[in-house]
Structure 1
Amino acid sequence: MWFKNLQVFRLTSPWQISADELNAQLSKISFSQCASNEMQSQGWASPRNNDMLVHTVNQQFLLALATEKKLLPSSVINQVAKARAQEMEEQQGFAPGRKAMKELKERVTDELLPRAFGVRRNTFIWIDPVNRWLVIDASSPSRADEVVKLLLKCCDKLPLEGLRVKSSPQACMTSWLAGNEAPKGFTIDQDTELKSSTEDKATVRYVRYTLEPEDVQKHIAAGKQCTKLAMTWDDRISFILTDTLTIKRIKPLDILDEEKDKGTNEEERFDADFMLMTAELAKMLDDIVFALDGEMETSTVI
Structure 2
Amino acid sequence: MWFKNLQIYRLPTPWNIDLAKFDEQLGRGTFARCASHEPMSRGWVSPRKDGGLIYSNNRQWLIALAIEQRLLPSSVVNDEVRERADKLTDEQGYAPGRKAMRELKERVTEELMPRAFTKKRTTFVWIDPQNGWFIVDAGSPGKAEEVIEHLRHCLDDFPLTPLHTELSPQSAMADWLAGGDAPHGFTIDRDCELKAVGEEKAAVRYVRHPLGDEVSGEIKSHLAAGKLPTKLALTWDDRISFVLSEKLEIKRLAFLDLLKEEAEKGAEHADEQFDADFALMTGELTRFLPQLIAALGGEIVESAPAAGGASTTPPWEA
Give the TM-score of the pair, scaled to structure 2. 0.92
Q: Deviations over 1:172-191 (max 9, x none)?
A: 11111111111111110000
C-alpha deviation, 1:70, in angstroms: 0.4
Q: Which residue of 2 aligns with 1:2?
A: 2
Q: Deviations over 1:145-196 (max 9, x none)?
A: 1111211222222221111101111111111111111111111000001111
Q: Which residue of 2 aligns with 1:181?
A: 181
**8 Å contact from structure 1 (residues 7, 144) kept in 2:** yes
Is 1:158 paired with 2:158?
A: yes
SS in 1 for 2:138: coil
2: CA distance between counterparts of 1:64 and 1:284? 23
C-alpha deviation, 1:3, in angstroms: 0.7
C-alpha deviation, 1:258, in angstroms: 3.0
Q: Which runs of 5+ in 2 are unaligned?
A: 311-318
Q: Which residue of 2 aligns with 1:132?
A: 132
Aligned residues between the structures = 302
Match of 2:255 among 252, 256, 262: 252
SS in 2 for 1:119: strand
Q: Deviations over 1:214-264 (max 9, x none)?
A: 112200111011111000011001000011100000011122123214411
Q: Which residue of 2 aligns with 1:271?
A: 275
1: CA distance between counterparts of 2:46 and 2:257? 30
C-alpha deviation, 1:198, in angstroms: 2.1
Amino acid of the structure 2 residue aligned with 1:279 = G
Q: Which residue of 2 aligns with 1:230?
A: 233
Amino acid of the structure 2 residue aligned with 1:247 = I
Amino acid of the structure 1 residue aligned with 2:255 = P
SS in 2 for 1:241: strand
Q: Which residue of 2 aligns with 1:112?
A: 112
C-alpha deviation, 1:130, in angstroms: 2.1
Tell me whether 292-301 or 55-64 shows the greater mean CA deviation: 292-301
Percentage of identical aligned residues: 53
SS in 1 for 2:63: strand
1: CA distance between counterparts of 2:189 and 2:31? 41
SS in 2 for 1:215: helix
SS in 2 for 1:89: helix
SS in 1 for 2:244: strand
SS in 1 for 2:53: coil
Tell me whether 44-53 or 165-174 shows the greater mean CA deviation: 44-53
SS in 1 for 2:122: strand
**8 Å contact from structure 1 (residues 19, 61) kept in 2:** no
Amino acid of the structure 2 residue aligned with 1:138 = A
Amino acid of the structure 1 residue aligned with 2:241 = S
C-alpha deviation, 1:98, in angstroms: 1.7
Q: Which runs of 5+ in 1 are unaligned?
A: none
CA-based RMSD of the aligned residues comes to: 1.3
Q: Which residue of 1 aligns with 2:315?
A: none
Q: Which residue of 2 aligns with 1:122?
A: 122
Q: Which residue of 1 aligns with 2:89?
A: 89
Amino acid of the structure 2 residue aligned with 1:18 = D
**8 Å contact from structure 1 (residues 186, 232) kept in 2:** yes
**8 Å contact from structure 1 (residues 12, 298) kept in 2:** no
SS in 1 for 2:56: strand
5 Å-filtered alignment, 1:26-175, equals 26-175=26-175
Q: Deviations over 1:61-90 (max 9, x none)?
A: 111111111010111011111111222222
Match of 1:299 among 286, 299, 303: 303
Amino acid of the structure 2 residue aligned with 1:151 = L
**8 Å contact from structure 2 (residues 169, 245) kept in 1:** yes
Is 1:214 paired with 2:217?
A: yes
**8 Å contact from structure 2 (residues 13, 129) kept in 1:** no
C-alpha deviation, 1:200, in angstroms: 2.0
C-alpha deviation, 1:50, in angstroms: 2.8
Q: Deviations over 1:89-116 (max 9, x none)?
A: 2222222222111111111111111111
